[in-house]
Chain A
Amino acid sequence: EAQVTQNPRYLITVTGKKLTVTCSQNMNHEYMSWYRQDPGLGLRQIYYSMNVEVTDKGDVPEGYKVSRKEKRNFPLILESPSPNQTSLYFCASSPLSPGALPEQFFGPGTRLTVL
């Protein structure tokens, strides 16, 4: 089954304790992206990657890191989490095509709480 998977689905942690949220897709997509969703703000892009070893900042990159060493994986790293990073996080992927980006396929989400 074609899908985007994220782990963990739920995480409660404390301020300053480094954490990684994994994202993997099995559709051979070039493009992968991380979003955070907060009430009343919709989804905001954190980082995206156009291909292996190619990453770029989205709208809200502060406090996050990413890497793209393999095409299928795109982990999100919080080196020193803070309470304002409490949010619902989505990973997404899509193929690349000429022109505008096609629709993205979303993972199930990771609900992160930072105390």
Chain B
Amino acid sequence: AQSVTQLDSHVSVSEGTPVLLRCNYSSSYSPSLFWYVQHPNKGLQLLLKYTSAATLVKGINGFEAEFKKSETSFHLTKPSAHMSDAAEYFCVVSDQGYSTLTFGKGTMLLVSP
């Protein structure tokens, strides 16, 4: 079975400080993993994806994530937060043989000046 747990419902950072959004997954086979971002009153935009190539994945807007199979984690990081990063972030898993994506419940990132 596939499942995703986002460990924090809210994360608050100051502008210019690092961002860490945590995601753990459960998968039976070789998963694909994604991070999507949703800005207020907007649709979902793909930030980055892991599909069994390099374990360190770089995405848009300076975000990156590292796939760690031993820890079943796919945490999202950014070295320096910007005010425009304030949004909700979703970790998503897709497993081989499954016809569906499973979304985490989301992490709201708050960025203060």
Contacts and interface: CB of A to CB of B under 8 A. Distances in A.
Interface of A: 33, 35, 40-45, 48, 50, 56, 58-59, 90, 99-104, 106-109
B34 A103 contact: yes
B9 A48 contact: no
Given A101-B100, A103-B46, 8 more contacts: A33-B100, A42-B90, A42-B103, A43-B103, A100-B29, A100-B32, A108-B42, A109-B43
Contacts of B104: 42
Q: Mostly helix, strand, loop or mixed at chain A's interface?
A: loop
Interface string B8-32: 0100000000000000000001111
B83 interface: no
Contacts of B29: 100
9 contacts: A40-B105, A42-B106, A48-B99, A56-B99, A90-B43, A100-B29, A100-B31, A102-B94, A106-B44
Interface of B: 9, 29-32, 34, 36, 42-46, 49, 51, 90, 94-96, 98-101, 103-106
Nearest to B38: A37
Contacts of A100: 29-32, 51, 94-96, 98
